[in-house]
Amino acid sequence: KMRGNPEVQLVHWMHVLLQNSQNDVAAIRAAFGLSEEALQRDMVTRLDALPRGAKSISDISLQIGEAIRAGWVCASLQFGAGRVRTGHLLLGMLADDKLKNVLFAISSEFRKVHAERLADQFEQICAASSESTQTEGAVAAGGASGEAGPGPVADGEALTKFSVDLTQQARDGKIDRIVGRDSEIRQCVDILLRRRQNNPILVGEAGVGKTAVVEGFAKRIVDGDVPPSLQGVTLRSLDIGLMQAGASMKGEFEKRLRQVIDEVEASPTPIVLFIDEAHTLIGAGGQAGTGDAANLLKPALARGNLRTIAATTYAEYRQYFEKDPALTRRFQTVDVAEPETDKA
């Protein structure tokens, strides 16, 4: 604005990043021998070539948005980080042919940075950076810091991160006693004991108490009021919203779901997974970025390695489940209506 430029360009952004002598960009500049004087000279030359005379900033260059996106992809998918660092931004731009050419046009000094070496030695190169001392998760995901939200998780941590242990909540007394749902709970137990079509799907209007049926089942597991084959089972509730957070990139949501399925199958303790709003996993029922996660569920359900209790409304079941014969073969409906007054 002080220069009278009508638009914020990538060169403005890079100029600001280069002013900090303690960040990742400064560490990368030193590691690859970029000349600080040449960079500053090239920056000033490019800034002086921009249009002047504007009284206010009217827009932000699309290249900045593309650079942020490239940095987020680099941070979350390549490094599994929940926070985008300036080093991620630079590496992401160097990995994108279009943005790389823009950087080279700003200053030929950026040609000295070898993207492959930077990716392989990122932690060592940026070890002394002030950004390395900032702890991951210091700010809540998606908060004001611009954090990208939950990224890929390490092996063995997906279940802990993306689901809640309902049986443990029942043991801790965090789940109240459920009344009036004995019939629905018994149906779920009977279905889970089958060899085929052994995944209950609770179908009912919003607010009738589908989740309460599952909580009642968790209480029975803890109390030992289930058949021997279900005793000792862990019931976990999958948090679809948390899995979708920060997963706008194609394949990221499916990767998280694949991790969850693998951990359920590998668990020494049998796990039953509760999937509320299950239609969000089925093709068009999901949000942008989820893809068709049902294709990941089908093989695991068919093998019997993954046992689930799903929940959805009548309308969503008809729209997304009934149209897919493979899903109807794997799920058995349990109708959940409003509890009768006498039962309640």
Output the pLDDT for position 228: 93
The mean of the pLDDT values for the chain is 83
Structural domain including 278 reads 158-335
At residue 144, the pLDDT reads: 36
Residue 81's pLDDT band, with cuts at 50, 70 and 90, is confident
Same domain, 98 and 32: yes
Residue 142 has a pLDDT of: 38
On whether both 48 and 114 belong to a single domain, the answer is yes
Number of domains in the chain: 2
Torsion of CA 8, 13, 14, 17, to 10 degrees: 160
Each residue of 242-293: pLDDT tens digit?
A: 787 766 555 677 888 888 999 999 999 999 999 998 888 775 444 444 445 7
| DSSP 8-class letter at 23 | S
- Domain harbouring 331, CATH code: 3.40.50.300
Burial class (CB in 10 A: 0-12, 13-18, 19+), 245: middle
Helix (H, G, I), strand (E, B) or coil at 31: helix
Supply the pLDDT for residue 5.
Answer: 54
Domain check: are 241 and 101 in the same one? Answer: no
Cα three-residue angle 259-262-265, rounded to 5 degrees: 150
Q: Which of 65, 99, 133 is the last residue of a domain?
A: 133
Domain CATH number, residue 92: 1.10.1780.10
pLDDT exceeds cutoff 80 at 137: no
Q: Which of 207, 342, 213 is nearest to 272 (CA)?
A: 213
What band does 327 get if pLDDT is binned at 50, 70 and 90? confident
Whether 188 and 334 have beta carbons less than 8 Å apart is answered as yes
Query: How open is the CA angle 115-117-118, to the nearest 5 degrees?
Result: 60
For residue 328, how far is the Cα from the chain centroid?
A: 28
Residues 100 and 171 in one domain: no
For residues 162 and 307, membership in a common domain is answered with yes
> Looking at the domain assignment, is residue 152 inside a domain?
no
Q: Which two tokens stand for residue 193?
A: 């004991």
* 344, pLDDT greater than 70: no
Statement to judge: residues 104 and 168 lie in one domain: no
Q: What is the pLDDT of residue 117?
A: 93
Window from 148-157, 207-216, 283-292, 299-308 with minimum mean pLDDT = 283-292
**Residues 30 and 100 occupy one common structural domain:** yes
Of 73-77, 156-160, 198-202, give the lowest mean pLDDT range: 156-160
Q: What is the DSSP string of 303-344?
A: HTS-EEEEEE-HHHIIIIITT-HHHHHHEEEEE--PPPTTT-
Contacts for 323-332 with beta carbons within 8 Å, 24 or more apart?
Answer: 324/282, 324/294, 326/298, 327/282, 327/294, 327/298, 329/196, 329/197, 330/197, 330/199, 330/298, 330/301, 330/302, 331/197, 331/199, 331/200, 331/201, 332/191, 332/194, 332/197, 332/198, 332/199, 332/200, 332/201
Decide if 142 is inside a domain: no
What tens digit of pLDDT does each residue of 101-129 get? 999 999 999 999 999 999 999 999 999 88
pLDDT at 214: 96
Question: What is the rounded CA–CA span in Å between residue 288 and residue 165?
Answer: 27
